[in-house]
Homo-oligomer: A and B are copies of this chain.
Amino acid sequence: MNQDLQYKDCIEACLQCMNACNVCYVSSLKEYELAMLRECIRLDRECADICDFAAQSMIRQSPFVQEICELCVKACEACADECGKHEHQHCKDCAEACRRCADACRHMLTAA
């Protein structure tokens, strides 16, 4: 990976978060008590797509990296808040990945 080192940690955090959100999404859809997970499922998908988009934008050094990472912070915070309400391990893992990703994006934005 030879993209600018300033982005390296943030790209990694975004891809880890995309992964955790997608795992939480499919796992939530299989849970017995599904109704309480509506918003979790919905935000998992939004956050996964936005994290993936953010990672690719940084890899390509898009001129819109800043705006996309600001968006990513909001999506990660919303998804972490929602997943943090649930006791499923996939929700806890997702919330943690979202918080780490939001932190990584904020750190990248202040360093930029």
Contacts and interface: CB of A to CB of B under 8 A. Distances in A.
Contacts of A67: 70-71, 74
19 contacts: A1-B16, A1-B19, A1-B20, A1-B23, A2-B90, A2-B93, A19-B59, A22-B56, A29-B38, A29-B41, A29-B42, A34-B34, A34-B35, A34-B38, A48-B56, A49-B53, A50-B64, A64-B75, A71-B71
Contacts of A16: 1
A59 B20 CA distance: 9
Copies of this subunit: 4
A61 interface: yes
A68 interface: yes
A22 to B, nearest CB: 4
A35 B29 CA distance: 9
Interface string A39-65: 001110110111011001101111110
